[in-house]
Amino acid sequence: MKISVITGASSGMGRDFVRMIDKIEDCDEIWVIARRKDKLEEITSETGKVIRPIELDLSKEKNIKAYGKMLKDAGEIEVTALVNAAGFGKFGDFESIPLQEQMNMIDLNCKALMAVTYLTLPYMPEGSRVYQLGSLSAFQPVPYITTYGATKAFVLSFSRALNKELEKRNIKMIAICPGWVRTEFFDRAVKDDTIKYYNKFFTSAEVVRRAIYDMYKGRDVSVCGASIRGQVLLTKLLPHKLVMKIWCKQQKK
């Protein structure tokens, strides 16, 4: 049996990935993972393929092990596509964000993404694809989004390096690095007005479409929108001290 696995599938970009994978992947089942089972179950009526909702908090190590066991117990399976979209951010002064939340961000955005990738890869045949949700904040240090930005720098570096390693198995991996995307992400990330200035917002469907386009072009990084690609270029050309200064000025810091 061929399956696709999508984490963070209950909303935002993960959910749009379910819709797209349903259309483009030649698989029998889509495993959708998140904490809110009701939201995952809603998706079952939206797709042509069989959906298997899996309620897991991936920031907990015991649930990572449970995911590994599910793969093992599934019998003869091939995972042709994996999307790691589970993730969250917390914006604000570093010292104002509780330590537990900072550690949880690292557990989910870095450790779970790496572990789900590690556990899934043995089931992935030649020609399969892995989509990793990074962020524009991966390209530079971002004050007031400090820990979140650092987790995304991990995702970018990890995904590009592993994509290179996986050439020998003909498995493609892409780091998706969008700017602001209108999703539920902000309900959790924003608790005050520390971040005052947001430039353009994209829809999650736009970002997902671009990511799939870039994947099939053979790219290892996907950045949606010409203006955001321009920003990425500037982070490569300008000293990061200056880039941070401009960002802080925009945020009136």
Ligand X SMILES: NC(=O)c1ccc[n+]([C@@H]2O[C@H](COP(=O)([O-])OP(=O)(O)OC[C@H]3O[C@@H](n4cnc5c(N)ncnc54)[C@H](OP(=O)(O)O)[C@@H]3O)[C@@H](O)[C@H]2O)c1
Q: Which of 36, 69, 191, 240 binds ligand X (CB under 6 A)?
A: 36
- Provide the minimum distance between the beta carbon of 109 and ligand X in the complex, in angstroms, as a whole number: 6
Residue type at position 116: V
Contact region for ligand X (CB under 6 A) — 64-72, 83-91, 219-227, 231-239? 83-91
Residue with tokens 């993730």: 87
Which of residues 28 and 206 has its CB atom nearest to ligand X in the complex? 206
CA dihedral 109, 111, 114, 120 (to 10 degrees): -110
Residues 223-252 vs ligand X: string with x where CB under 6 A? ------------------------------
User: Cβ of 147: how many Cβ atoms within 10 Å?
Assistant: 18
Residues 89-128 vs ligand X: string with x where CB under 6 A? x------------------x--------------------
Our finding on whether 85 is near ligand X (CB under 6 A) is yes
Q: At what angle do helices 61-73 and 113-120 cross, to 10 degrees?
A: 20
72-93 burial: b if 16+ Cβ within 10 Å, else e = eeeeebebbbbbbbbbbbbbbe
Which of residues 13 and 79 has its CB atom nearest to ligand X in the complex? 13
Q: Is 223 exposed, middle or buried (0-12, 13-18, 19+ CB in 10 A)?
A: buried
Q: Which of 2, 22, 28, 39 binds ligand X (CB under 6 A)?
A: 39
Look at strands 2-7 and 221-222 and give their pairing.
unpaired
Which of residues 69 and 169 has its CB atom nearest to ligand X in the complex? 69
- How many residues in the shown chain lie near ligand X by CB under 6 A? 29
Q: Which of 5, 18, 49, 59 binds ligand X (CB under 6 A)?
A: 59
Longest dimension (CA), the chain: 56
Which of residues 2 and 146 has its CB atom nearest to ligand X in the complex? 146
Q: Which of 183, 214, 243, 251 binds ligand X (CB under 6 A)?
A: 183
Our finding on whether 149 is near ligand X (CB under 6 A) is no
- Provide the minimum distance between the beta carbon of 9 and ligand X in the complex, in angstroms, as a whole number: 6
**Host H or E run for residue 242:** helix 240-250
In whole angstroms, give the CA distance from residue 4 to residue 150: 28
Distances (CA, A) of 95 to 91, 98, 123: 11, 7, 42
Binding site for ligand X (CB under 6 A): 8-14, 34-36, 39, 57-59, 85-89, 108, 133, 135, 178, 180-181, 183-185, 204
